[in-house]
Amino acid sequence: MRLVFLGAPGVGKGTQAEMVSAKYGIPKISTGDLLRAAVAQQTSLGKEAKQYMDRGDLVPDKVVIGLVEEKIGTSECGKGFILDGFPRTVPQADSLAGLLVGKGLSLCRVIYFVITREEVINRLSGRRNCSRCPAVYHLEFVPSKKEGICDECGGELMQLSDDRKETVESRLTVYEEQTFPLIEYYREKNLLAELDGSGSVGSVQGRLIALLSKS
């Protein structure tokens, strides 16, 4: 199962990717998570990426393509993978296709998550991330059991700097300008499946599993 999860920032790709990863035993490859890890470790790649991420801009293609290439080449991805937040530009999509062809592989499905702009802003403004592990919460929709504390590891919950209102607006503009063309790109290749991303996490999961079972 080789999947791409495509959609606006905050649409719920990461939340659903975690669940699909656990259910089917295939890894989630999130370029956002990989970049945040590089920023936290203060590597030279992380220092370069941080400037773009803080503005809500995309990190240069060559940097993210390199990160994904490294991951897809590992034995962990033998049964498949879920790409969460990659590709985000046509050159990234072309590079991914080339990379897979080189390994005699291809994508199975591109799941395009759809919700309104207002819902995106609500979801991002209430998002809280664990400072220690990859767990993601929402103040209202996916609250932790104890306020401000991660259920999984007890770490402190925090708001990411790029979830601030001004940055969210610019991330949405960048998405519309640079990532939106991928919808037609994958539709033309007959890989695109639209998924209604509205409603509770559980109801989206139900629709997603039904869609994957059909594919």
Residues interacting with ligand AP5, by CB under 6 A?
9-15, 30-32, 35, 52-53, 56-59, 64, 85-86, 88, 92, 123-124, 126-127, 136-138, 141-142, 162, 171, 199-201, 204
CA dist., res. 213 & res. 40, Å (int): 37
Rounded to the nearest 5°, which phi and psi values hold at 205?
-60, -45
**Least distance CB 181 / ligand AP5 (angstroms):** 14
**Least distance CB 183 / ligand AP5 (angstroms):** 15
One-letter amino acid of 160 = L
**Least distance CB 127 / ligand AP5 (angstroms):** 3
Using the minimum distance from each CB to ligand AP5, give the nearer residue, 21 or 92: 92
CA dist., res. 4 & res. 95, Å (int): 14
What 8-state DSSP symbol labels residue 131?
Answer: S
Using the minimum distance from each CB to ligand AP5, give the nearer residue, 74 or 170: 170
Using the minimum distance from each CB to ligand AP5, give the nearer residue, 104 or 211: 211
**Least distance CB 10 / ligand AP5 (angstroms):** 4
CA dist., res. 39 & res. 63, Å (int): 13
Q: Give every CB contact of residue 205 below 8 A, 6+ residues apart in sequence.
A: 16, 19
**Least distance CB 122 / ligand AP5 (angstroms):** 8
Q: Give every CB contact of residue 11 below 8 A, 6+ residues apart in sequence.
A: 113, 114, 115, 120, 123, 197
Using the minimum distance from each CB to ligand AP5, give the nearer residue, 1 or 37: 37
Using the minimum distance from each CB to ligand AP5, give the nearer residue, 55 or 187: 55
Using the minimum distance from each CB to ligand AP5, give the nearer residue, 71 or 75: 71
Q: Give every CB contact of residue 124 below 8 A, 6+ residues apart in sequence.
A: 9, 10, 163, 168
Residue number with the smallest Cβ distance to ligand AP5: 32
**In this structure, are residues 190 and 184 in contact, taking their beta carbons and an 8 Å threshold?**
no
**Least distance CB 167 / ligand AP5 (angstroms):** 8
